[in-house]
Structure formats: C-alpha cells, structure tokens
C-alpha cells in the first residue's frame, strides 16, 4: 500500500490530470457504474465541527474506498484547512488496500477539477474574466484549475476580510499576462464576469442572481449541506441548473432546496448531471446569453477516481512511501 501525504498528493496529481480523472468518474456516475451512499455527517458537540464519511465504489477503474474528513471552521492563518482527513482506496478484485492519501489536498484538487470540467462544457468558450468569492484553499485551486480550460485573463477576488483577499492574490503568483485585483464587495467582483466561483463557508447567500451578466457561468462550491446556501433563489431561477449527482442534490443542495421550498422551481429544474452532458444525453448551454450553474456537492466517485490516478502516478514516479501490511 502506498502512503501519500499532502506534498506527495500535490506532486502526483496535477489539475489537468485530475480533470481527466473526474471526467471519467462523472461519466460513470451518470451511466450507473458506481455505488455511492449519500455522505453522512456527525456533529462534534461543543466545537463547531463535523465528521464526514463518504464511501463508494467505482467500476472503472475497478476500485472502492472511503473518504473520512473532519470539517472545522478555521482562520486562514491556521496550518490546517477547513477539511482534514484521508482517502483510502482498495482493489475491487482482491479486496486489498492500494493507497492511503491525504484527504485535504486530494479534495482541494478534485473539487476544483470538477468545477473546471463543468466550466469546460458549460461556459462560453472565450470566457476570460473570473470572479472568485472566497479566499481559502479552494479559491486558490479554482483559479489554477479553471486556467486549464479557459483563457483566463482577469481574476477578481472578494472575501469578507480584505487582508485575506490580498494575500490570496499574492499567493496566486499569476503570470504577467493575467491581471488580478481585490474587489470591495461581491457585486463588484461579479459584475460582467464570464465565470463566477463561490468557494466560501457562508451559510447565507453571498451571490445574488440580479448581479449575473447574460452568458455567465457559475460554479457553486462552498455549501454542501441542505441548510446552507451561497447563492440566492434568483441565481437558481435565472439559470440552467446542472448538478454532479441528482440524488445528492435533492438531499443536500441548499440553493436548490431553498428555491423548491419557496415554490419557484421543482426537481424538474435540474437540467441534468454533468455526466449526462458529457454523454450527450442532455444538452448543455443553449446560447451565449444563457446563464448556467453547476452545483458542486462532491461525490465519492470523484474522490476514488482522483485517488486512483494519484496512486498510479505515484507508483510510476516513485512518489510517497510503500507500506507492506504483512
């Protein structure tokens, strides 16, 4: 079994490689070649934390496993991200463990890769202006991943704390051909943007539908429980709305569930899963003026596919530590 810590995962799996792995996973999800029980949460009393369990099976590559993660509110100055945990994958034919990987880095890479995949198939081809709401690890990874699929020329960053937003811009270390600036408020960042990514820990909306320009594509990333929404109901109603996995969306997609509860949309508002678009079973963007939304909840198949790709790369490149059980 190969052990990959944070640095080893980053070395073994690029954003471009992960986009390919996630694409294969989303195709598998929508054709039914996965087993994915809905994620389960356990609140940690007195500490504001959650413990999350995400088991799953993926038919190709033939693997199964689990991600276990703690999610705690943390300052950007903390040495730990908001998500800390591990992913363990097994060989399905023999039932033996293949790898144990740092869950924080893997989650950051695969989540951004999933948004990049959705952006590739839903956003207008020439989209060059990217608005990032949020200043944490996911914000940084999203800029890098989306740069793999669109010719990003301008990055606008907004966060609740100006100093954190400025630090993110410095950490991005973008090439001279790409401009980056901190915005005073979320509306300024979103105004006229081609692509918007919400990567916050907000429980209440930070994005309003009336701000979105015609033709904008939105990735809703930060909220992963039914009681939290990063975007208001107008974002849902104004858009062609796509999800990673319909069963998860109807259980945990706060933005969609809020719109359903308000009586302005129904389950039928889900245009389809990303895998359906990839397989041409569902149409993606219909025209350049349409607003599209990808609601990212993250599914076990993405973790398994990303972990397996990192494992195979690590084996061939001699990255990480090889551990023998017997």
Q: What is the pLDDT of residues 175-193, one digit of tens each?
A: 999 999 999 999 999 999 9
Looking at residue 240, its pLDDT comes to 98
pTM of the model: 0.94
pLDDT interval class at 76 (50, 70, 90): low
Looking at residue 72, its pLDDT comes to 82
pLDDT interval class at 30 (50, 70, 90): very high
pLDDT tens column, 123-175: 999 999 999 999 999 999 999 999 999 999 999 999 999 999 999 999 998 99
At 99, list the tokens.
Answer: 């790898």
Looking at residue 279, its pLDDT comes to 96
pLDDT at residue 303 tops 90: yes
Range name among 72-86, 89-103, 286-300 with the lowest pLDDT average: 72-86
pLDDT at residue 83 tops 80: no
How many percent of the chain have pLDDT more than 70? 98
- Distance separating alpha carbons of residues 194 and 200, to the nearest angstrom: 19
Looking at residue 94, its pLDDT comes to 93
Helix extents (H) in 39-153: 103-122, 137-146
At 52, list the tokens.
Answer: 């999350």
Give residue 2's region: left, alpha or beta (phi > 0; psi -120 to 50). Answer: beta
Instruction: Please report which helix (H) or strand (E) contains residue 11, including its range.
Output: helix 6-12
At 81, list the tokens.
Answer: 């991200």
User: What is 296-320 written as a DSSP string?
Assistant: ----HHHHHHHHHHHHHHHHHHT-S
pLDDT interval class at 29 (50, 70, 90): very high
Domains of the chain listed by start with CATH number? 2-107+301-322 (3.30.1780.10), 123-298 (3.40.50.720)
Instruction: Please report which helix (H) or strand (E) contains residue 249, including its range.
Output: helix 246-252
Looking at residue 125, its pLDDT comes to 95
pLDDT interval class at 74 (50, 70, 90): confident
């Amino acid at each position: 079994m190969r052990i990959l810590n944070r640095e080893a995962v980053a070395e073994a799996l690029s954003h471009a490689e992960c986009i390919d792995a996630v694409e294969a996973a989303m195709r598998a999800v929508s054709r039914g070649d996965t087993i994915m029980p809905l994620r389960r949460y356990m609140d940690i009393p007195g500490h504001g934390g959650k413990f999350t369990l995400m088991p799953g099976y993926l038919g190709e590559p033939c693997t199964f496993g689990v991600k276990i993660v703690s999610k705690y509110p943390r300052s950007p100055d903390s040495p730990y991200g908001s998500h800390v945990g591990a992913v363990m994958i097994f060989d399905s034919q023999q039932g033996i463990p293949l790898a144990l990987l740092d869950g924080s880095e893997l989650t950051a890479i695969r989540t951004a890769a999933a948004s990049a995949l959705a952006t590739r198939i839903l956003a207008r081809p020439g989209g060059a202006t990217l608005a990032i709401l949020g200043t944490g690890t996911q914000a940084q990874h999203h800029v890098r991943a989306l740069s793999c699929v669109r010719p990003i020329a301008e990055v606008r960053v907004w966060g609740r704390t100006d100093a954190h937003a400025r630090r993110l811009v410095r950490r991005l270390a973008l090439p001279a051909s790409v401009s980056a600036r901190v915005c005073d408020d979320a509306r300024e960042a979103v105004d006229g943007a081609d692509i918007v990514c919400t990567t916050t820990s907000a429980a209440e909306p930070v994005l309003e539908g009336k701000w979105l320009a015609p033709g904008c594509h939105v990735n809703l990333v930060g909220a992963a429980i039914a009681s939290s929404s990063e975007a208001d109901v107008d974002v849902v109603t104004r858009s062609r709305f796509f999800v990673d996995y319909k069963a998860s969306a109807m259980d945990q997609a706060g933005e969609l569930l809020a719109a359903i509860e308000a009586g302005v949309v129904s389950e039928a508002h889900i245009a389809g899963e990303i895998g359906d678009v990839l397989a041409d079973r569902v149409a993606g963007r219909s025209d350049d003026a349409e607003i599209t939304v990808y609601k990212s909840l993250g599914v076990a198949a993405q973790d398994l596919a990303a972990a397996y790709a990192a494992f195979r790369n690590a084996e061939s490149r001699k990255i990480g530590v090889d551990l023998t059980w017997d």
